[in-house]
């Protein structure tokens, strides 16, 4: 067991009242999974994933990582935990005033790694993501796919065990998405990083995930192997997602799972 979310609930308190964003969610993500989180907009996907690194504090329930309850971590414990969990977003969130190398060395500098070591490590990571020749470019000089590669390199700087991806490919075209998903899979297979992928796209889930969870209005509707959930959804929420995806149909053409079944 790697990530165990136990009876997780999250209620946001706002001026206009309270909102139950997560309701009693229990989920196991195993070491080495590429785990997809799918569901409609507002279902609670980002909230769920932000609870894993405690960017969001659950209202009740617990987050257990490698058998250790981290729910109440603060201070140094929390910093160490977060350094073991990388995160990337749709908007890349790079430092515009730093060049590519400076973006990747940043988390290492925070941790007090020497400048020379940080730069050497950052160059290795840039090679890994295929950007060795862009070290002294600034984010504004890069394409969206290249910026996401920098964000991935930066997220890997501290050797995380877990990589959280919140709509990381939503801003990218199909081919660039395919390349970034390939990179995530390589990271998963070669570095043994457990990857959690939030996506709106079932095509993305099929391309990269081995398992998926469907979140519906804050509840876990179902979870299982991606081919089972998407081919034979048991919950109404999953069925609706699959049906809506079928209407957009063409996406099935590039799905390895569907292609295999068609043969
Ligand atoms: N900081 C906050 N304060 C109050 N309500 C919030 C906050 N963050 C999220 N919510 C609410 O919680 C619910 C779940 O939000 P969340 O961002 O987790 O959804 P999501 O599944 O990631 O949606 P999307 O696919 O649009 O990104 C939404 O109704 C949202 O309005
Ligand atoms: Mg979200």
CATH number at residue 236: 3.40.50.300
Name 13's Cβ contacts closer than 8 Å, sequence gap at least 6. none
The reported pLDDT for the residue numbered 195 is: 98
Q: Verify whether ligand 1 is closer than 6 Å to residue 208 (CB atom).
A: no
Residue nearest to atom 1 of ligand 1 (CA): 12
Residue nearest to atom 26 of ligand 1 (CA): 41
Q: Which of 159, 185, 212 is the last residue of a domain?
A: 159
For the chain, how many structural domains are there in total?
Answer: 2
Q: Verify whether ligand 1 is closer than 6 Å to residue 199 (CB atom).
A: no
Q: Which of 159, 176, 192 is the last residue of a domain?
A: 159
Q: Verify whether ligand 1 is closer than 6 Å to residue 41 (CB atom).
A: yes
50 CA distance to ligand 2 middle (Å): 10
The reported pLDDT for the residue numbered 248 is: 56
Q: Are residues 194 and 71 in the same domain?
A: yes
Q: Are residues 65 and 142 in the same domain?
A: no
Q: Are residues 116 and 225 in the same domain?
A: no
198, 174 Cβ separation under 8 angstroms: no
**Which ligand has its closest atom nearest to the C-alpha of 16?**
1
DSSP assignment letter at 96: T
The best mutation among 8, 9, 12 to test binding of ligand 1, ranked by most ligand atoms within 8 Å of the C-beta, falls on 12
Q: Are residues 174 and 249 in the same domain?
A: yes
The reported pLDDT for the residue numbered 253 is: 47
Q: Verify whether ligand 1 is closer than 6 Å to residue 190 (CB atom).
A: no
Q: Is 190 inside a domain boundary? A: yes
Q: Is 139 inside a domain boundary? A: yes
Q: Verify whether ligand 1 is closer than 6 Å to residue 19 (CB atom).
A: yes
Q: How far apart, in Å, are the Cα atoms of 47 and each of 21, 39, 65, 216, 217? A: 7, 12, 17, 13, 12
User: What is the pLDDT tens value at each position of the chain, 263 positions in all?
Assistant: 599 999 999 999 988 899 999 999 999 999 999 999 999 999 999 999 999 999 999 999 999 999 999 999 999 999 999 999 999 988 889 999 999 999 999 999 998 999 999 999 999 999 999 999 999 999 999 999 999 999 999 999 999 999 999 999 999 999 999 999 999 999 999 999 999 999 989 999 999 999 999 999 999 999 999 999 999 999 999 999 999 887 654 444 445 444 444 44
Q: Are residues 138 and 77 in the same domain?
A: no
DSSP assignment letter at 53: T
Q: Is 191 inside a domain boundary? A: yes
Q: Are residues 72 and 14 in the same domain?
A: yes
Q: Is 90 inside a domain boundary? A: no
Q: Is 240 inside a domain boundary? A: yes
3-state secondary structure of 19: strand
Q: Verify whether ligand 1 is closer than 6 Å to residue 249 (CB atom).
A: no
Residue nearest to atom 14 of ligand 1 (CA): 44
Strands 219-225 and 3-14: unpaired
Q: Are residues 178 and 80 in the same domain?
A: yes
Q: Verify whether ligand 1 is closer than 6 Å to residue 44 (CB atom).
A: yes
62 CA distance to ligand 1 middle (Å): 19
Question: Could you give the angle at the alpha carbon of 41 between the alpha carbons of 40 and 47, nearest 5°?
Answer: 105
Q: Which domain holds residue 226?
A: 3-84+163-262
The reported pLDDT for the residue numbered 16 is: 87
190 CA distance to ligand 2 middle (Å): 28
Residue nearest to atom 30 of ligand 1 (CA): 42
Q: What are φ and ψ of residue 19, in 5° steps? A: -135, 125
Q: Are residues 73 and 189 in the same domain?
A: yes
Q: Is 89 inside a domain boundary? A: no
């Amino acid at each position: 067991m790697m990530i165990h979310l136990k009876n997780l609930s999250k209620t946001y308190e706002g001026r206009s009242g309270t909102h139950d964003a997560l309701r009693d969610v229990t989920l196991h993500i195993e070491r080495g999974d590429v785990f997809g989180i799918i569901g409609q907009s507002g279902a609670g996907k980002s909230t769920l994933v932000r609870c894993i690194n405690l960017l969001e504090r659950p209202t009740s329930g617990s987050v257990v990582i490698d058998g250790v309850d981290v729910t109440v971590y603060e201070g140094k414990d929390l910093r160490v935990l977060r350094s073991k969990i990388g995160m990337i977003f749709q908007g890349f969130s790079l430092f515009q005033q730093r060049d590519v190398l400076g973006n990747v060395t940043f988390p290492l500098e925070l941790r007090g790694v020497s400048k020379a070591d940080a730069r050497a490590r950052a160059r290795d990571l840039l090679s890994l993501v295929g950007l060795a020749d862009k070290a002294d470019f600034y984010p504004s000089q890069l394409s969206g796919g290249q910026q996401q590669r920098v964000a991935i390199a930066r997220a890997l700087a501290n050797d995380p065990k877990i990589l959280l991806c919140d709509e990381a490919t939503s801003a990218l075209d199909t081919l660039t998405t395919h390349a970034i998903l390939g990179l995530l899979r390589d990271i998963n297979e070669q570095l043994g990083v457990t990857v959690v992928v939030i996506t709106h796209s079932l095509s993305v889930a099929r391309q990269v995930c081995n398992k998926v969870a469907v979140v519906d209005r804050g509840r876990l509707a179902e979870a299982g192997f991606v081919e089972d959930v998407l081919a034979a959804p048991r919950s109404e929420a999953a069925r609706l997602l699959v049906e809506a995806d079928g209407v957009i149909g063409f996406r099935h053409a590039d799905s390895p799972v569907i292609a295999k079944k068609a043969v």
